[in-house]
A and B are shown apart, each in its own frame.
Chain A
Amino acid sequence: MNTLFAILFYFATLVLVVGTFYRISIYTRTPAPLKIPTTPAPMTSGGVVLRMMREVFLFESLFKANLWTWGLGWLFHASLALVLLRHLRYFTEPVWSWVVLLQPFGMYAGITMVLGVAGLWARRIFVERIRYISTPSDHLMLVLFLVIGLSGLTMRFVVHGDVIAVKGFMLGLMHFNLQPLPANIGLYVHLSLVAVLMMIFPISKLLHAPGLFFSPSRNQVDNPREKRHIAAWARKLEAEK
């Protein structure tokens, strides 16, 4: 089991990192030939950074769209961020002091994360319009998060796992020095699904995370009259004349 999980995690990390960088490299390489910010839009780069921060941290556009989706979505994402930060303790020795401070918050965030996912799933099932647009993978994605969250919470609150050993395993992975992983079904489920999540990240709708930063309607400065903007392939048309 040790070796199996070690291979799985090395592979998943490779897919996540290489895949995501590959995607980002495609986005970077693909030109945006026209100025298409959704206006009113900032007319300076500083303004764009602020607009982007509001989207990333507050989900500004979603807030305008639908309060339920915004509330549940924000709860889920903010909780997930806390949970991920809390998990840093498995990868650092000694644990950074701010990660130590986060521990109790991260623990409750596990619960709110599961609530957020459950709410989003309920919306997908019960709201006619959202049900219509949902594919099986949309449902499975939520199931994935739900099971990861529930298995994590189970180990935290119900059947305690040997966290010291898990940490030993993770640190071992990082230093290419394989350590035993505690035999625990909940842990196996938790870790396998996390690995699945890492692997599908670069090939699924989870790309919305990097995608947002490359969205021309949000990241462009609205200054088309002041500065000529032209893509390389479009410039060629001018030479052809």
Chain B
Amino acid sequence: MADITAPAYRVIPIIPALKPGAMEGSGPYVSGEKMNEALGFPGKLVDDWHDKAIAKMGDLLGKYRSLKVYMDACVHCGACSDKCHYFIGTQDPKNMPVARQDLMRSVYRRYFTLPGKLFPKLVGARDLTREVLDEWHNYFHQCSECRRCSVFCPYGIDTAEVTMAARDILDSVGYGQKYDIEIIGKVHKIGNNLGLPGPALRDTMEGLEEDVKEDTGLDIRFPIDVKGAEVLLITPSADFFAEPHIDSLIGYAKVFHATGTSWTLSSMSSEAANFGMFIGNYEQLRKVALRIREAALELGVKRIVVGECGHAWRVAYSFWNTLCGVGDGADPDDQFARMLQKQLDHRYKQPTHICEFTWDMIERGALAFDKEANDKHIITFHDSCNVARGSSMGGYPGGQFDIPRNVIKSVANHFVEMDPSTTHEKTFCCGGGGGLLTDDLMELRVKGALPRMEVLQQVVDEHGVNFLAVICAICKTQFSKTMPIYGFDRRMVGGVHQLVSNAIRLGAK
């Protein structure tokens, strides 16, 4: 992996020429027998995969209006064709969103539409052959489900929905992706993606308390499994020990401390990430989300706050209410959801993003900062794809852009924006999202980071930016790994609450 080098920067904006087949053999490892079976998928590619896959596709077409409409509606206008960071970075035409969708649409047309059955060549319909299946495994794991294409599509066609369906079909015939399947297995077995068991987590948090005490002289707690706490914090498990993630965790703890909020982690549900979304499997998505419900009921908390994690926030904000009842507005006869909803404090949005929590406290005047503590940083903010295009904050459209920026500007003096065609809803994915944050996809990850790196370089050159703030565990890991390849210091990337942590005034309040 060490021999992967960064592609050269180009003049921005540029629409790259096509390099067919550039990423043909660059797909991920196939999931193993045991891990597949642990999730209830066939261990390896089944003999009748063809019929099974088509049947599964029919099943999904009947369950998801998105898939059905998106298969029919595309007119090949090409609006999305130059919008994917993986296409821009790899130049492989099959990484154009429309071409990626067509890998499935061609099969849909062949088996589910009249013209495709009668005149396959005319409408670009194809049989589902082994080659096509391999192509699916390859290219549907070169999509980070970031939804950038869906912003530009005149019909809102979201390639993420197609990718999720394709992965669901692949899993159902025993042809999954190692990284995602392995991680979901760990969540079910141990409680988090990193496989950190309860006692180890408790140790880690105790160690953290000592470190923070040494640093601040204050008893800042990192509580676990505290019944009756007001807030249950659900955060990506990388926050527990990965760099720079842990600095944000310290930031959350300081905010809770400074505002006198009682809070707790849950050892049973010590993970915000939900890779069930990445593999597009509703049952898995739901099963992983149900752990949060269980933990909330068990601990009797009033609020659920989510740490810095992009896709987790999408799942929490957009799906938790559906999946496990964390939210408001269940029907009177909906016992399942009401059981939890009557426990939660509806003066606050449920769930709440940690940035919403902190910003709310700042607005109430409950927090004070020494902004000079961040003066060494010239900061820019990378909008994480799932937060930007799959969620919101603050109860108004676009709050997901304002609130993290408001927090940064409250705790630091130097903030600049990157090129507006690559921020807010038009932000690029970091290149490692969607279940692709694995070493076997390193080439893809480096190339996928190119569009963001080019734009970052601009603000580095023009404004001396030396801190890339993000609110996503995947972005943090992906950037700390790929940025050195582009010649940046890996410590340049960090969380918004890392900045909060630097500047927050403790004790005085």
Interface residues in chain A, defined as those with a beta carbon under 8 Å from any beta carbon in chain B: 23, 26-27, 30-36, 38-43, 47, 55, 59, 61-62, 64-66, 69, 73, 123, 127-130, 132-138, 140, 200, 203-205, 207-208, 211-212, 214-218, 222-231, 233-234, 237-238
Q: Which of A38, A43, A66, A130 contacts B76 (CB 8 A)?
A: A130
A42 to B18, CA, bound (A): 37
- Contact (Cβ within 8 A) B72 A205: yes
**Distance in Å from the Cβ of A65 to the closest Cβ of chain B?**
4
Identify the 8 closest CB pairs spanning chains A and B, nearest first. Answer: A211-B73, A135-B124, A65-B152, A65-B79, A217-B156, A40-B397, A227-B329, A218-B156
- Contact (Cβ within 8 A) B76 A135: yes
Known interface pairs A40-B425, A64-B152; A137-B122 also in contact (CB < 8 Å): yes
Contacts of B161 in A (CB 8 A): 36
Which chain B residue has the least Cβ–Cβ distance from A38? Answer: B150
Known interface pairs A39-B390, A61-B153, A207-B72; A230-B328 also in contact (CB < 8 Å): no
- Contact (Cβ within 8 A) B156 A35: no
- Contact (Cβ within 8 A) B425 A133: no
Which chain B residue has the least Cβ–Cβ distance from A120? Answer: B77
A134 to B99, CA, bound (A): 10
Q: Which of B75, B124, B349, B391 contacts A39 (CB 8 A)?
A: B391
Q: Which of B63, B99, B122, B334 contacts A228 (CB 8 A)?
A: B334
- Contact (Cβ within 8 A) B151 A228: no
- Contact (Cβ within 8 A) B78 A23: no
Q: Which of B73, B336, B392 contacts A238 (CB 8 A)?
A: B336
17 residue pairs from A and B, CB less than 8 Å apart: A61-B152, A62-B152, A64-B152, A65-B154, A132-B93, A133-B93, A136-B122, A138-B75, A205-B74, A216-B66, A217-B150, A224-B317, A224-B327, A225-B351, A228-B327, A228-B337, A238-B336
Contacts of B113 in A (CB 8 A): 203
1/0 contact string of B77-97 vs chain A (CB within 8 Å): 111111100000000010010
A225 to B395, CA, bound (A): 9
Q: Which of A35, A134, A205 contacts B318 (CB 8 A)?
A: A35
Instruction: Indicate whether B123 reaches chain A with its CB closer than 8 angstroms.
Output: yes
Contacts of B122 in A (CB 8 A): 135-137, 140
- Contact (Cβ within 8 A) A36 B66: yes
Contacts of B66 in A (CB 8 A): 32, 36, 215-217
A230 to B319, CA, bound (A): 10
**Distance in Å from the Cβ of A229 to the closest Cβ of chain B?**
5
Contacts of B17 in A (CB 8 A): 128
- Contact (Cβ within 8 A) A137 B156: no
Contacts of B311 in A (CB 8 A): none
Contacts of A35 in B (CB 8 A): 318-319, 322
Residues 378-420 of B at the A interface (beta carbon under 8 Å): 388-392, 395-398, 400-401
Contacts of A43 in B (CB 8 A): 392, 395-397
Known interface pairs A129-B96, A132-B93; A62-B79 also in contact (CB < 8 Å): yes
A89 to B77, CA, bound (A): 32
A47 to B397, CA, bound (A): 10
Contacts A31-B65, A132-B93, A225-B349 aside, 6 further interface pairs with beta carbons under 8 A come to A35-B319, A38-B150, A203-B114, A216-B156, A224-B317, A228-B337
- Contact (Cβ within 8 A) A34 B123: no
- Contact (Cβ within 8 A) B158 A38: yes
- Contact (Cβ within 8 A) B158 A33: no
- Contact (Cβ within 8 A) B73 A208: yes
Contacts of B123 in A (CB 8 A): 135-137, 204
Which chain A residue has the least Cβ–Cβ distance from B66? Answer: A216
A230 to B18, CA, bound (A): 42
**Distance in Å from the Cβ of B78 to the closest Cβ of chain A?**
4
Instruction: Indicate whether B157 reaches chain A with its CB closer than 8 angstroms.
Output: yes
Known interface pairs A39-B391, A226-B327; A27-B78 also in contact (CB < 8 Å): no
**Distance in Å from the Cβ of B425 to the closest Cβ of chain A?**
6
- Contact (Cβ within 8 A) A132 B18: yes
A230 to B150, CA, bound (A): 23
- Contact (Cβ within 8 A) B77 A69: yes
A34 to B158, CA, bound (A): 13
Instruction: Indicate whether B147 reaches chain A with its CB closer than 8 angstroms.
Output: yes
A125 to B322, CA, bound (A): 45
Residues 202-219 of B at the A interface (beta carbon under 8 Å): none
Contacts of A140 in B (CB 8 A): 122
- Contact (Cβ within 8 A) B321 A229: yes
**Distance in Å from the Cβ of A86 to the closest Cβ of chain B?**
24
Residues 356-393 of B at the A interface (beta carbon under 8 Å): 388-392
**Distance in Å from the Cβ of B149 to the closest Cβ of chain A?**
9
Contacts of A226 in B (CB 8 A): 327-329
Which chain A residue has the least Cβ–Cβ distance from B397? Answer: A40
Q: Which of B69, B317, B396 contacts A27 (CB 8 A)?
A: B69
Known interface pairs A69-B78, A133-B99, A215-B157; A224-B65 also in contact (CB < 8 Å): no
- Contact (Cβ within 8 A) B283 A127: no
- Contact (Cβ within 8 A) B69 A215: yes
Instruction: Indicate whether B64 reaches chain A with its CB closer than 8 angstroms.
Output: yes
- Contact (Cβ within 8 A) B321 A224: yes
- Contact (Cβ within 8 A) B73 A205: yes
**Distance in Å from the Cβ of A29 to the closest Cβ of chain B?**
9
Which chain B residue has the least Cβ–Cβ distance from A31? Answer: B65
Which chain A residue has the least Cβ–Cβ distance from B83? Answer: A65
- Contact (Cβ within 8 A) B330 A228: yes
**Distance in Å from the Cβ of A52 to the closest Cβ of chain B?**
10
Interface centre among B113, B318, B395 (most CB of A within 10 A): B318
- Contact (Cβ within 8 A) B397 A215: no
Instruction: Indicate whether B48 reaches chain A with its CB closer than 8 angstroms.
Output: no
Contacts of A215 in B (CB 8 A): 66, 69-70, 73, 155-157
